[in-house]
Structure 1
Amino acid sequence: MTRQLLVQRPKNMHELRPYLKLVKQINDLEDTYRQYSDEQLKSKTEQFKQRLANGETIHDLAVEAFATVREASSRVLGLRHFNVQLLSGLVLLHRNVAEMNTGEGKTLVASLPSYLVALEGKGVHIVTVNDYLAKRDKELIGQIHEFLGLTVGLTIADMTNSEKKAAYNCDITYGVGTEFGFDYLRDNLVSSLEEKVQRPYHYALIDEIDSVLIDEAKTPLIIAGKDMPSGRLYKVCAFAIKSLKPDDDYTVDQELKVVNFTEEGIAKCEKVFGIGNLFDLEHSSLFHALLQSLRAHVLYERDVDYIVDDGEIKLIDMNTGRIMEGRSLTDGLHQAIESKEGLENTEENKTFASITIQNYFRMYPSLGGMTGTAKTEEEEFRKVYGMDVVRIPTNKENRRIDYPDLVFLTREGKYRYLVKEVKKRHEKGQPLLIGTTSILRSEEISDLLKEEKLEHVVLNAKSAEQEAEVISLAGQKGRITIATNMAGRGTDIILGEGVAELGGLHVIGTERNESERIDNQLKGRAARQGDPGSSVFIISLEDTLFQRYAAEELERLKPKLKVNGDGLITSPSIHKFVEKIQRISEGFHFQFREYNLKLENVLNQQREVIYEFRNKIISAENVLSFLKKQVETIPVEMIETFCDVEWVLEDLDLEKLAAQLNKVLIFDVSFEEDAFSSVEDIKQAIQPTIDAHFRQLRAFYDDERLQSAVRGVSLYVIDNLWKSHLETMAQFKEGIGIRQYKQEDPVQQFEREGFILFEALFSKIKYRISEHINQFIRELMQQEEEIEQ
């Protein structure tokens, strides 16, 4: 059976065998389905829906549904699914990651499981890495689904609420992962059910799943609002930081991305600002601004982490090399970078809502994903998302030649050899794709090629608009393309005429990335669909990977290395060293994501409680009745707290207690006795007033004006206090990694203290809502009195 279905026997045959049986059954139906008229083929959709309604499952329908989509694709697009694409579709249906080589047709694969799951009527989200691919795939694959009677939508930034709502109400919705996440956050900031755009989650199919779930895991999605301007403060801090010296005045941990002032650095800052103690509470804003300015100067590099474009700081996605349009850093860090670059300060952003990509996609009951590079991260996919990685064999034999790394002692030696290699291959007309890790490096290499009069194209965050076109032409004869990590994922490189005879596309990596997976993505640009191609990494020990993770080890290693006249290291052990340092880097990043997720899970639990409470207020038929149950314990809690603080009962300031209770009770409290012998006596004395308060509240249940006002003010209270809580938790999270606890796990400390902070938040929310309800009802009662008089 394998010989008939696949070009060669894969190593993971045992894993694929159950799926291959189904592929054979799909193939057996092909001749029959080819005989159907268009109307007969289209009618399959309603038949499948009816069978699902009668109790069958999507897995019962998989063979027939896939055969239907394959035939529809042949008719509508002229594209017939290969056996390996059917195989991949079945793997995705079972909540797995399908690892498919570049050029194997992942876009067409998505049409199979998305059609079948969409028949359940609960919505399917197809996630891509950028807007261009989302639009392209929706327009292309959407034709198949629409032919079969399904609706297809697209969610992108700048759409109106009604447009987004229409897109999410479609059977299948395309979009970028971050936009799906932002729509979720926005849905939890609305003040009515009608404003929400998303339906409950069902199934997400993620293209380039490693990029979405692993590379973007470090960057939370944040919806922020503007705060009071503090530009002058950051400008002064930028001036102060420039006078500080590394090691003497501050320390840097490049691995952890952490900076700290030394005692000498603190003393210098105190002298600049003319203050006695920078750690005094009154100087906390200044200390925070100084720390952010230090981060901006030491950890953020121009043309690596950001670019300056038309007087604006634009952030670069370190994994893709793309500009993150519309994204800015929060908590003053963006303003600190602006001041560093001498730009006008924008208003500071404060977080209103946030979620990590990890926790967003974990809300989907079912996930599937595709990528060319996932096996190296199999443990993380299984541990975090409960997904297995299944390697899919190629449709045609892979002919790519991967040459061993060429490792040079210095960057200068590496560049000299690189230019010679480019000239040699360019002279015979072979197309070259040169991969770099940053804009800075891509421009350095571009300058070297210009000196040699070698015509080339540079693709980085500054030229991203032409990305798809530049990459699609990279396989043409004589073409030289320099690209940062973005390298046009999702766009095929098709070889020009006569290029196959020259050896196909040759890919040169100029640095090893911090993950082998990113290197494999670059190599995967060559030799698609059985084409010839080759790859090589030309690197140096001065590259970022080695400087960041092996600086000390390199000093010990260098004297032992054999080096030829070109500066090329000839010691065979160098390859094991490179591999070892990359494993260290990967291990560190995995541990960091795992640690970060544990901290984020604490906040995620809190977010779920707040959003559930908020949604109940929005959807409650009678919001006063709902809130009564939430706030009815507030007066008693206030008495307990007051007595706990003013702990000597004989000395209690009863007038002060009465004044506090009057803020949440409709009828004024007054104490007939001068003192009480127990807290229970105080509660008993006040109980008649509390009972009268809630009786009066019930009398207003049908007042629509009060219902509307209370609903609106409750959401306002929740949103504002949640925003402050997020800020507090962010500062706590920031400090917890560098605070030293006595033999205590920082995650447990974060959980415990986070729980205490959250309990206080919820009590405060209920108290504030009680205050507003009381104020509204007192005003209404006064109005009624005036009307009667």
Structure 2
Amino acid sequence: MGIWKRTGIWSARSWRPYADALSRIKSRQREIESWSGERIRRYSLELRYLSRSDAAADVSMTEAYALVCEAARRAIGMEPYDVQIAAALALGAGKLTEMQTGEGKTLAAALAVYWRALSGRGVHVATFNDYLARRDAERLGPLYRYLGLSVGCVQEGMGAAERRLAYAADVTYLTAKEGGFDYLRDGLCLTKGSLVQRPYHFIVVDEADSILIDEARTPLVLAGEADAPQRDGARLAAVVGKLAAGIDYETDGGRRNVYLTDQGAMKAEALLGCGNLYAAGNELLLGELRDALHARALLRRDVDYIVRAGRVELIDPLTGRIAERRRWPDGLQNAVEVKEGLQPQRSGEILASITLRHWVGLYPRLCGMTATASSSTDEFAEAYGLQVAVIPARRPAARTDYPLVVYATKAAKLAALTKEIAALHAAGRPVLIGTSSVAESNGLAAALAASGVSCNVLNAGNEEREAAVIGQAGAVGAVTVSTNMAGRGVDIRLGAGDEEQAAAAARLGGLAVIGAGLHESMRIDNQLRGRAGRQGDPGSSVFYVSLEDELFARYSSSGAAAAGSWRQGLDGKLEGAGIRRRIEHLQRVADGQNREIRQTLNRYADMLEQQRHIVADRRRGLLEGRIAPAPLVLRDPDGYADLCARYGAMAVKRAETEYALLALDRCWADHLEYASVVREGIHFESTGVRDPLDVYERLLLAAFADFFDKAEDRAVRALLAVDRTKPDIGPEPAAFNMPSATWTYLINDRLLPHRHSFW
């Protein structure tokens, strides 16, 4: 534990407990090698019985791991390496393992999954996308079934019955978003038989840095039908179109905030004819104007979003990929749609919501794996209590990582990139280029085409196509241009799996990874860099940067103007270690600011999550019969007697529970709406002496004080208002309808530096 206390990392030097356990497992596996398949399956059943009985809380890890190692060799032809067993030991102990790309995280996870699944309480493996969940379930299914365990896989588009069956399995593969959405749906069920999930037990999170950090601030949202609010989007878009940047409004250096100047506020008031824009009664207009200005000044087509098939689709700022089923809060989403001349889409009313961070926190036991964890050790420990175990590579790395190549302008960088890629392609070497946006990937592809270099471009969200293309990226002569995270979770093998081609690609120097720019997060760059040099293969990585890149635009006050202070070649290339140190510093600043944003958002989400948890516990108690609803007989004896006479006491008792559940749901939806309204405007408090977070918490606590009293009153009133000519006392069928939409919100913190700040 000494190394953990100092650094938060379990490194190879702290491996002694793993080394002893590894020796015992290998020794026991050699004994099991002589067993028949039938004896192995029978022994697995014995381990399951022991684990599920009162005789033992957990069966021996040594026995379970030795058994599954031998079963893997027989069932799927894969015998785990020592480093995979060590990683599995760390996972089983509830740690976050860092394993390099190509080292076999999927099989390592299976060892820990088997051991934890023996209890019969279910193990969930959360992957990055539906394709990976399906692939891993199919690939490892024969192993689990060989040992007598059942395997399920949850996919988008499945019905309730299929999902229920998948969650009932001993091992369930799914995406974090599908698991979170199913949790929210279960929170709106009116009968126990409608639930699809069982109580949570253990989860393994694959690509943990993406899910637990990058996506953790993203709320999952369930929405029901609702009338779209009347917004005068076209008029407001026309007004902001007449405002001049730098005169009527300004943005901060990070392009996260936009605010009106005093002159801009007066101009907007004149154009709108609304009087004082900040006067009471203009709150809705002010919010809509803020959204229209944000859409115009801060959000860029093909960088922040694309327009496809008549719809605005968001681009994930961390991956550069299309973010499926993601939207901005309604006002901003509609403002962007109006800006692009599209018909604003109806979104529906939010009925339930939870962040991925809080959903993962519902599991009593959590572990994860990724290739890039070390740089976020403190955040993993602070947010999840996870220690990071660094697993050394099976073979020494042979990848060459070259220093940054820096240019003064984007044009000079593009010319150099094109020349370098063309030269590598001419030599036959496979090349993978990572870009940060759809616009950048398309621009680079066009430049390569003009130079006679054909390439595959990946910047959309078709996971299966991505996997197929990325899987071929190691072929001789292949050139692949992708956004940073395209095809994540898919191994890139030299020669695309062909031994002769692999040898040829190795002789040429292996996969050449080129970053077309640095990301705000060093982890994303490291993930791209780690695509080369798989399992000791040769390879190289290099990143090209210009002073006009987004990193400089957001975080450097000097930006491209700094080019004159550095030694510059005729081709625009900048030399000197000083500039590289400057860029690395900017990246650390960006990483720090993004972490601060996540921490701030977490503090806001924590208050609402505490209240959601209280409501969810009461709701589950009502659903399971552990908590009785407010008895109608005490509130209105005559009304109760009349209902019993018409429908029978049992029907009235059942209806009391159903109406109580619906009332809780209705009151919680109202509370979410109130919290959203408060959150939208709370940062105006930062212009005074009060802390916005303190104000937010005080308002939410006050609103929640009589929550259950309101819910009980609502349920009783609804029950007494039943149309007594109906043959059934139950709620109207429409009340049982499930939400019509699921999406995730892209949420950013808003800190206002000016008294007339908008965002």
- Distance in 2 of aligned mates of 1:206 and 1:733: 30
Match of 1:540 in 2: 546
- Distance in 2 of aligned mates of 1:354 and 1:255: 29
**Pair 1:159–1:462, CA change in 2 (3 A):** closer
Match of 2:602 in 1: 597
Match of 1:654 in 2: none
Q: Does 1:522 align with 2:528?
A: yes
- Distance in 1 of aligned mates of 2:538 and 2:389: 25
> Given residue 197 of structure 2, which amino acid in structure 1 is its aligned partner?
Q
Query: Which of these residues, 704, 714, 732, is aligned with residue 678 of structure 2?
Result: 732
**Pair 1:107–1:565, CA change in 2 (3 A):** same
Task: Name the SS of the counterpart of 2:294 in structure 1.
Answer: helix
- Within 5 A, what are the aligned runs for 1:69-84? 69-84=68-83
The Cα shift of 1:12 comes to 2.7
> Given residue 698 of structure 2, which amino acid in structure 1 is its aligned partner?
R
**Pair 1:702–1:259, CA change in 2 (3 A):** farther
The Cα shift of 1:280 comes to 4.8
Q: Does 1:746 align with 2:745?
A: no
- Within 5 A, what are the aligned runs for 1:104-143? 104-143=103-142
- Distance in 2 of aligned mates of 1:359 and 1:738: 27
**Pair 1:767–1:260, CA change in 2 (3 A):** farther
Match of 1:315 in 2: 314
**Pair 1:385–1:746, CA change in 2 (3 A):** same
Q: Does 1:445 align with 2:444?
A: yes
Match of 2:56 in 1: 56
Identity of aligned residues (%): 38
- Distance in 2 of aligned mates of 1:292 and 1:717: 33
> Given residue 560 of structure 1, which amino acid in structure 2 is its aligned partner?
S
Q: Is the 8 A contact 2:226 2:349 kept in 1?
A: yes
The Cα shift of 1:232 comes to 5.8
Task: Name the SS of the counterpart of 1:551 in structure 2.
Answer: coil
Match of 1:468 in 2: 467
Match of 1:103 in 2: 102
The Cα shift of 1:723 comes to 1.5
Q: Which moved more, 1:462-471 or 1:376-385?
A: 462-471
Match of 2:620 in 1: 615
CA deviations on 1:415-467 (whole Å, 9 max, x unpaired) are 11111211221221111111100001001111111111111111111765520
Q: Which moved more, 1:295-304 or 1:114-123?
A: 295-304
- Within 5 A, what are the aligned runs for 1:241-640? 241-253=240-252, 255=254, 257-461=256-460, 465-496=464-495, 497=501, 498-552=504-558, 555=561, 557-620=562-625, 625-628=628-631
- Distance in 2 of aligned mates of 1:504 and 1:65: 39
- Distance in 2 of aligned mates of 1:348 and 1:284: 21
Match of 1:219 in 2: 218
**Pair 1:254–1:615, CA change in 2 (3 A):** farther
Match of 2:667 in 1: 721
Q: Is the 8 A contact 1:296 1:340 kept in 2?
A: yes
> Given residue 588 of structure 1, which amino acid in structure 2 is its aligned partner?
Q
**Pair 1:720–1:487, CA change in 2 (3 A):** same
- Within 5 A, what are the aligned runs for 1:154-233? 154-230=153-229, 233=232
- Distance in 2 of aligned mates of 1:701 and 1:716: 20
CA deviations on 1:42-99 (whole Å, 9 max, x unpaired) are 11221112332253343x5111111111111111111110000000000001111100
Q: Is the 8 A contact 1:332 1:349 kept in 2?
A: no
CA deviations on 1:350-401 (whole Å, 9 max, x unpaired) are 3211111111101111111110000000000000100011110111111111
Task: Name the SS of the counterpart of 2:666 in structure 1.
Answer: helix
The Cα shift of 1:476 comes to 0.8
Q: Is the 8 A contact 1:468 1:491 kept in 2?
A: yes
- Distance in 2 of aligned mates of 1:715 and 1:255: 45
The Cα shift of 1:716 comes to 2.9
Match of 1:643 in 2: none
CA deviations on 1:134-176 (whole Å, 9 max, x unpaired) are 0000000111001111010011221111111111110011001
> Given residue 536 of structure 1, which amino acid in structure 2 is its aligned partner?
V
- Distance in 2 of aligned mates of 1:343 and 1:761: 40
Q: Is the 8 A contact 2:547 2:563 kept in 1?
A: no
- Distance in 2 of aligned mates of 1:742 and 1:266: 20
> Given residue 146 of structure 1, which amino acid in structure 2 is its aligned partner?
R
- Distance in 1 of aligned mates of 2:169 and 2:462: 34
Q: Is the 8 A contact 2:10 2:390 kept in 1?
A: no
Task: Name the SS of the counterpart of 2:618 in structure 1.
Answer: helix
The Cα shift of 1:702 comes to 6.8
**Pair 1:256–1:558, CA change in 2 (3 A):** closer
Which gives a bigger RCO, structure 1 or 2 (Cα 8 Å, sep 6+)?
A: 2
> Unaligned stretches of 5+ in structure 1?
1-9, 633-663, 668-692, 784-789
**Pair 1:719–1:263, CA change in 2 (3 A):** farther
Task: Name the SS of the counterpart of 2:166 in structure 1.
Answer: helix
- Distance in 2 of aligned mates of 1:479 and 1:231: 52
Q: Is the 8 A contact 1:620 1:626 kept in 2?
A: no
Q: Is the 8 A contact 2:567 2:576 kept in 1?
A: yes
> Given residue 568 of structure 2, which amino acid in structure 1 is its aligned partner?
V
Task: Name the SS of the counterpart of 1:499 in structure 2.
Answer: helix
- Distance in 2 of aligned mates of 1:699 and 1:755: 41
**Pair 1:247–1:723, CA change in 2 (3 A):** farther
Task: Name the SS of the counterpart of 1:201 in structure 2.
Answer: coil
- Distance in 1 of aligned mates of 2:183 and 2:364: 16
- Distance in 1 of aligned mates of 2:129 and 2:210: 11
- Distance in 1 of aligned mates of 2:194 and 2:261: 51
**Pair 1:710–1:237, CA change in 2 (3 A):** farther
Q: Is the 8 A contact 1:330 1:348 kept in 2?
A: no
Q: Which moved more, 1:408-417 or 1:225-234?
A: 225-234
Pairs aligned (count): 711
The Cα shift of 1:349 comes to 3.2
The Cα shift of 1:206 comes to 0.7
Q: Which moved more, 1:423-432 or 1:715-724?
A: 715-724
- Distance in 2 of aligned mates of 1:735 and 1:62: 53
The Cα shift of 1:696 comes to 10
> Unaligned stretches of 5+ in structure 2?
1-8, 496-500, 730-759
Q: Which moved more, 1:283-292 or 1:153-162?
A: 283-292
**Pair 1:396–1:235, CA change in 2 (3 A):** same
**Pair 1:266–1:189, CA change in 2 (3 A):** farther
Task: Name the SS of the counterpart of 1:332 in structure 2.
Answer: helix
**Pair 1:778–1:460, CA change in 2 (3 A):** closer
Match of 2:737 in 1: none
CA deviations on 1:298-347 (whole Å, 9 max, x unpaired) are 23222222221111122222323333333333323222221111112221
Q: Is the 8 A contact 1:487 1:522 kept in 2?
A: no
Match of 1:6 in 2: none
The Cα shift of 1:618 comes to 2.2
Q: Is the 8 A contact 2:548 2:560 kept in 1?
A: no
The Cα shift of 1:718 comes to 2.2
Structure with max Cα Rg = 1
**Pair 1:94–1:464, CA change in 2 (3 A):** closer
RMSD (Å) for aligned C-alpha atoms: 2.6
Q: Which moved more, 1:478-487 or 1:763-772?
A: 763-772
Q: Is the 8 A contact 1:45 1:149 kept in 2?
A: yes
Q: TM-score, normalised by structure 1?
A: 0.85
Task: Name the SS of the counterpart of 2:567 in structure 1.
Answer: coil
Task: Name the SS of the counterpart of 2:400 in structure 1.
Answer: strand
The Cα shift of 1:29 comes to 2.0
Q: Which moved more, 1:745-754 or 1:177-186?
A: 745-754
> Given residue 56 of structure 1, which amino acid in structure 2 is its aligned partner?
A
The Cα shift of 1:551 comes to 2.7
The Cα shift of 1:38 comes to 0.7
> Given residue 667 of structure 2, which amino acid in structure 1 is its aligned partner?
L
> Given residue 136 of structure 1, which amino acid in structure 2 is its aligned partner?
R
Q: Is the 8 A contact 1:231 1:346 kept in 2?
A: no
Q: Which moved more, 1:418-427 or 1:115-124?
A: 418-427
Q: Which moved more, 1:512-521 or 1:347-356?
A: 347-356
